Chain A
Amino acid sequence: MINGNLKSNYAADERVLNNRYKQVFVYGMALLLAVFGALANDYLILIASKMGLLLIAVVGINILTGYTGLVSLGHAAFVAIGAYAVTIFQNVTAGIIPDGIMIFFAVPFAVFLAAAIGVIVGLPSLRVKGLYLAVATLAANFIVIFLIEQDVFARWTGGMVGLTTNAPSLFGWVLDTKREMFGLIAVVGFVTLLAAQNLIRTRIGRAFIAIRDRDYSAEILGISLLRYKLTSFSISAAYCGLSGALFAYFYARILPEQFELDLSLELVAALIVGGMGRTMGPVFGVIIIVMVPEVIKITFGAITGDAAGMAQLRAPLQEIAFGVLLVVFLLKEPLGINQIVDRMLRAANRWPFARG
């Protein structure tokens, strides 16, 4: 808590950006992103876009796991649904809906589809212990990817080979460079993060947290457990679907193997490492999860100098690093980077009155 941060009316007290520092931070970040988008080189734009895409999905996972306390190990399925839905929708309606406004139909379709399937997957598994939900979502992930890969459906899904995707068009302005797409991703990311924050401030978000902390206590306050768990599940599925839709627009091609268990685990790991149940958690987590493999790639390349036979060691190394990162955080700082940052900010706030 910051000292001297007093307000004179309830409205001011209820604001999210209730002190100078937070305001400067948020507006500053927005400005920084804009400048970055304009000036950074292509490689950095690529990295940042990856982070942005992942961020939207991890914010969804944060709502489900961080705030409601439900564990899902299969949300990559919803990312896949979003990506494929958008692409298939465009392929199917190409002649009917004009290109300029296609995105305004395709994306909502994908998001709603993801949310709807989220309800179906969530329904049986929300009646029992969290463990069952974890395995049920794992199963759902396998099933969805399997179905996408099958030759039977290859006509629509492209099977193992995947589908090529188009660049989106906003009223005629075609976003065919990565830089332009980054702009879209950044804006959508910002808005979805804000929306999630809003959700937490209202009765819905509070209900989620209540369910996480003590579900029987939530029940006697009038919160229907099944209904709210299902709501949380489908909102998180919708977020992942949105991420998938943008993913499809960003990359030239989508393949079923991009949405397997690995992605699901990446999402959860990003959340844990960044900090569960806090607004900035997903942001920190996404930065780390994307940067660590890149750093390994660069240092590995520098050390081995692209020697043949060494190259195949890089992927396993990245995998191990990922696992180690997750485990270390769980053992040492389960509340994630957010907690570390909090501690530093608190110390800075008190300085020079107290150490530590």
Chain B
Amino acid sequence: MGQFAQFAINGLMSGAIYALIAVGIVSVYKATKVVNFAHGYLIMFGAYFYYTFAVIVPGQPWAPEWLASWQPDWMVEMKGDLGMFSPLGAVLDWLANLPRILLGLLGAVLANAVVGRIIERTLMRPLMGQSVFAMIMVTVGLISIMSGGAQLIWTADADFVPHIAPNTPIRFELFGTMIFLFGADLVNMVIALLLFGGIVAFVRFTKGGIAIRATAEDQSTAYSMGISVPQVFRRAWVLASVTGAIAGAILATRNGISPSLGLFGFSVLAIVLMGGLDSYVGVFIAAMTVGVLEAMTQWQLGGNWAEIVPYVAVLVVLIWRPHGLMGQKEVERI
């Protein structure tokens, strides 16, 4: 039982990250009816930007010392007395990294927002009003451009990045067995859930969110209601880029930096479709479910097989419910 709980919790933590990635895809779809097949690569750019601002920049000769590692006297004193694996030690390590973590996150969010803006302006806007097929194929072309671009700028080497939160080991008892977690993972999950909830609340309750939903239903009507459709498009893409940046940073801390981060986009695409494409609730359920299923698969069959869980799952769900778990069936007026 205990092992099950451990893996289930791991799965839920992964699921939260998937949900955060998915919210970007769903939001762009809701606003523009375009599924961004290159979203995984937007995430990857976010991760690489985090790496740039949290590792490369602090590492430069012209960067101030404290950026790379903040070691005030009181901290050095405290650390001196601590043993390995002490929670306080992990917190202090985190504090030492804090400047570059913050720079990394800020840089990633801003840089990615710019990238999102550029993509929307140069690629999506000209296609406004044209077939959805064309817009989707443009995002497919974007995959190659971004994948090649990242390799060109940052090379294909793998590397590590600092955790966003203190990486303290946490132990607690659940159902009679010890559950072992890392604090950083827990914080990541909380961040992901908060952001996800925030986006959903924004789309549900604010004027901007209503504008997004109106534009999704009917562009021309939204226009005539005074909604600036180009602005809605822009907002949606920026939103996707920003959540993508945070998701990318989180993924980077978990999996390290490498071009293969882009592949997460495809498994989350499968999750989004499973959930029903335009339903935040459905996508959330799908993300959590896939996260847990992956963990279970890893537990029973070994890590390798977990890779295809989202893909098998989406095919199974489509057989059972062709519109995804909570998708809407569109009725065409004949």
Residues of A within 8 A of B (CB): 71, 73, 123-125, 127-132, 134-136, 138-140, 142-143, 146, 150, 216, 261, 265, 268-269, 272, 312-313, 315-327, 330-331, 334
Known contacts A132-B323, A143-B315; 18 further A-B pairs (Cβ under 8 A): A71-B136, A73-B140, A125-B318, A128-B318, A138-B269, A139-B310, A142-B308, A150-B304, A216-B334, A315-B151, A316-B151, A323-B141, A324-B141, A324-B145, A326-B138, A327-B123, A330-B141, A331-B127
Contact A330 B315 (CB under 8 A): no
Contact A331 B151 (CB under 8 A): no
Contact B315 A265 (CB under 8 A): no
Closest to A145 in B: B308
Bound CA span A135–B327, Å: 15
Contact A323 B136 (CB under 8 A): no
Q: Which 9 A-B pairs have the closest CB atoms?
A: A319-B148, A323-B144, A323-B145, A326-B141, A139-B311, A320-B148, A316-B151, A316-B148, A327-B141
Residues of B within 8 A of A (CB): 35, 37, 123, 126-127, 130, 132-134, 136-138, 140-149, 151-152, 155-156, 266, 269-270, 273, 277, 304, 307-308, 310-312, 314-315, 318-319, 322-324, 330, 332, 334
Closest to B29 in A: A131
- Which B residues lie within 8 Å of A131 (CB)? 35, 132, 136, 273, 277
Which of A135, A319, A321 contacts B151, CB < 8 Å? A319
Residue from the set A71, A136, A268 with the largest chain B CB neighbour count within 10 Å? A136
Given A131-B277, A135-B314, A327-B123, are A320 and B322 neighbors across the interface (CB < 8 Å)?
Answer: no
Contact A327 B138 (CB under 8 A): yes
Provide 8 A-B residue pairs closer than 8 Å at the C-beta atoms, listed in order of the A residue.
A136-B273, A139-B270, A143-B308, A216-B332, A272-B137, A317-B148, A320-B148, A324-B141
- Which B residues lie within 8 Å of A216 (CB)? 332, 334
Tell me the minimal C-beta distance from A312 to chain B in angstroms. Answer: 7
- Which A residues lie within 8 Å of B35 (CB)? 131, 135
Which of B136, B155, B330 contacts A312, CB < 8 Å? B155
Contact A320 B308 (CB under 8 A): no
Contact A129 B330 (CB under 8 A): yes
Contact B148 A265 (CB under 8 A): no
Given A124-B322, A146-B308, are A331 and B144 neighbors across the interface (CB < 8 Å)?
Answer: no
Bound CA span A341–B277, Å: 39
Tell me the minimal C-beta distance from B119 to chain A in angstroms. Answer: 10
Contact A136 B145 (CB under 8 A): no
- Which B residues lie within 8 Å of A128 (CB)? 318, 322-323
Bound CA span A128–B192, Å: 31
- Which B residues lie within 8 Å of A269 (CB)? 140-141
Main secondary structure of the interface of A (DSSP, over half): helix
Contact A265 B145 (CB under 8 A): no
Given A143-B308, A150-B304, A326-B137, are A265 and B318 neighbors across the interface (CB < 8 Å)?
Answer: no
Bound CA span A261–B318, Å: 21
Given A129-B330, A134-B136, A139-B315, are A330 and B127 neighbors across the interface (CB < 8 Å)?
Answer: yes
Tell me the minimal C-beta distance from B142 to chain A in angstroms. Answer: 6
Contact A135 B270 (CB under 8 A): yes
Contact A320 B318 (CB under 8 A): no
Bound CA span A123–B316, Å: 12
Contact B312 A330 (CB under 8 A): no
- Which A residues lie within 8 Å of B332 (CB)? 216
- Which B residues lie within 8 Å of A323 (CB)? 141-148
Bound CA span A318–B35, Å: 25
Contact A331 B152 (CB under 8 A): no
Contact A316 B152 (CB under 8 A): yes
Bound CA span A132–B29, Å: 13
- Which B residues lie within 8 Å of A265 (CB)? 140, 143-144
Which of B143, B152, B273, B307 contacts A135, CB < 8 Å? B273
- Which A residues lie within 8 Å of B314 (CB)? 135-136, 139
Bound CA span A269–B169, Å: 48
Contact A124 B319 (CB under 8 A): yes
- Which B residues lie within 8 Å of A316 (CB)? 147-149, 151-152
Closest to B266 in A: A138
Tell me the minimal C-beta distance from B47 to chain A in angstroms. Answer: 17
Contact B140 A135 (CB under 8 A): no
- Which A residues lie within 8 Å of B132 (CB)? 131
Bound CA span A315–B332, Å: 45
Contact B152 A313 (CB under 8 A): yes
Bound CA span A132–B334, Å: 22
Bound CA span A32–B96, Å: 71
